[in-house]
A and B are shown apart, each in its own frame.
Chain A
């Protein structure tokens, strides 16, 4: 692939259990706050509930939809989008006049509409759940397009855990090729009983708060949230009169082609994705201030990530933020890219929550334990998905 021009990130919004905005989330991270707890939003049939990172606070999201009509994943997405649009110095009226695309990554956002069918089928005499209407209420891309009257391309990326990163990377190409003036891009996922139970059944869910990269790590904890990036063309950026918050320098995407759930042991897929992202942006490994790793807390993922980082980016500080947010699935790549921009602005990264005891197998480098300063204007955020997708974003300020 040819090297590409960086794409402007005009604004960012984020909501997760660490905070209802990006600013509040970062405050929690730097304080080292963690709030894992048993789920409240759905009944857990297990004798004792495994911890999740749930957003307990009320958040209002939309001016168009009634709260009851639209699924939580969509409300999370719209909440983050409102923050991002405001952060970009834009407004709804401005967007209505432009070619606006929407590209959102999600997992749950495409499963929940099935629940209505199932209930129909089970209850027989219940209200008929027409496929189209259920989809429109539950798909974050559709809801976003309706909310902001977007009339450009729409895409809902369902690449499991890398969906949010992939959505941002794909959206950037829409700007570069002139398909749109603006793209509302990111990821969103709510806590859902199917994914919670599914990961427990795979025996990769830790009964205690997760410990990414730690010697005693036993698996992941789920979380929920959304992050949205407003990507704009250079013309729009000039028209808005505001400097962009940052840039997307590169995007790399590969598939392990190995196993439906296990990461490729040689890490080749991740290595190739990192190299592709660096090459796309013309970035040297020495330019990377830090890496926001995927770091789920599972035995295999953390081991392979560490091996790859030690080989390709030796000496570059890295961390996992999933100890603060849980694994937010389709939202994770977007949330972690948002955190990466905020950390570059702050010139420091938080400690990798949950990491206390180094695992000799993961050395020679381990994640940072405490808040630590970083210098540089470019960071790398990587996600490794169920099914073997690897997505790497290189963001900068």
Chain B
């Protein structure tokens, strides 16, 4: 599965986004805008899941903040480090 698709499935499952489908998560949607209701715990959860599923480490939120803007930015971050 492509990285972006996989990320969307991971978000839905591990953040328990009930009722949200992968198609509803646009690649350039702001992950931490109003659409999904995510907060700081979800941010560190995503960091954890990225390491689990892709083996890519985000060391702190200084590094994480720009990467976690959207599916696009996160996929690019992962690709650059795999």
Direct contact of A and B (CB under 8 A): yes
The smallest C-beta distance from A204 to any residue of chain B, in angstroms, reads 9
* A262 in contact (CB, < 8 A): yes
Write out, one digit per residue, whether chain A residues 237-260 have a CB within 8 A of any chain B CB (1) or not (0).
Answer: 000000000000000000000011
A259 to B38, CA, bound (A): 12
CB-CB under 8 A from B41, the residues of chain A are: 202, 260-261
Contact A203 B39 (CB under 8 A): no
B40 interface residue (CB < 8 Å to A): yes
Q: Is A327 an interface residue (CB 8 A)?
A: no
Give chain B residues whose Cβ lies under 8 Å from the Cβ of A262.
Answer: 40
B76 within 8 A of A: no
By size class, the interface of chain A is under 10
Q: For A202, what are the chain B residues with a Cβ–Cβ distance below 8 Å?
A: 41, 44
User: A60 in the interface, Cβ–Cβ < 8 Å?
Assistant: no
**B54 at interface, CB cutoff 8 A:** no
- Please give the number of chain B residues whose Cβ is less than 8 angstroms from any Cβ of chain A in the complex: 9
- Distance, CA A118 to CA B34, complexed state (A): 40
In the complex, the answer to whether B44 meets A218 with C-beta atoms within 8 Å is no
Q: Mark B30-52, 1 if CB is under 8 A from A, else 0.
A: 00000000011100100110000
> In the bound complex, do residue A201 and residue B44 qualify as a contact, i.e. CB atoms below 8 Å apart?
yes
Determine whether B20 belongs to the interface, using a CB cutoff of 8 Å to chain A: no
Q: Identify which of residues 181-219 in chain A touch chain B, using a CB-to-CB cut-off of 8 Å.
A: 201-203, 218
Is the Cβ of A261 less than 8 Å from the Cβ of B60?
Answer: no
Across the interface, which residues of A come within 8 angstroms of B44, CB to CB? 201-203
Question: CA of A201 to CA of B61 in the docked complex: distance in angstroms?
Answer: 12
- Closest residue of chain B to A205 (Cβ to Cβ) is B60
Binary contact track B42-76/A, C-beta < 8 Å → 1, others 0: 00100110000000000011001000000000000
Closest A residue, CB atoms, query B45: A201
Nearest Cβ distance between residue A394 and chain B, in whole angstroms?
Answer: 32
Taking the nearest CB of chain A, how far is it from the CB of B14, in angstroms? 13
Q: How near does chain A come to B59, taking the closest CB pair, in angstroms?
A: 8
Residues of B within 8 A of A203 (CB): 44, 47, 60-61, 64
Known: A203-B60, A203-B61, A218-B60. A261 touches B48 (CB 8 A): no
CB distance from A302 to the nearest CB of B (A): 16
Chain A positions within 8 Å of B61 at CB level: 203
A-chain residues with CB within 8 Å of residue B48 when the two chains form the complex? 201
Inter-chain contacts of B60 with A (CB < 8 A):
203, 218
Q: How far is the CA of A260 from the CA of B44 in the complex (A)?
A: 13
Chain A nearest CB, measured from B15 CB (Å): 14
Shortest Cβ distance from A199 into chain B, in angstroms? 11
A83 to B41, CA, bound (A): 41
With a CB–CB cut-off of 8 A, which chain B residues contact A201? 44, 48
What 0/1 readout, one digit per residue, does chain A (91-106) give for beta carbons within 8 Å of chain B? 0000000000000000
Neighbouring B residues of A218 by C-beta, 8 Å: 60
Q: Mark A359-373, 1 if CB is under 8 A from B, else 0.
A: 000000000000000
Q: Which residue of B lies closest to A47 (CB)?
A: B57
- Whether the pair A259, B47 counts as a contact (CB closer than 8 A) is no
**Complex formed: what's the CA distance from A260 to B61 in Å?**
18
B residues apposed to A, CB below 8 Å: 39-41, 44, 47-48, 60-61, 64
16 A–B contacts, CB within 8 A, in A order: A201-B44, A201-B48, A202-B41, A202-B44, A203-B44, A203-B47, A203-B60, A203-B61, A203-B64, A218-B60, A259-B39, A259-B40, A260-B41, A261-B40, A261-B41, A262-B40
Nearest first, the 4 closest Cβ-Cβ pairs linking A and B are A203-B44, A202-B44, A203-B60, A201-B48
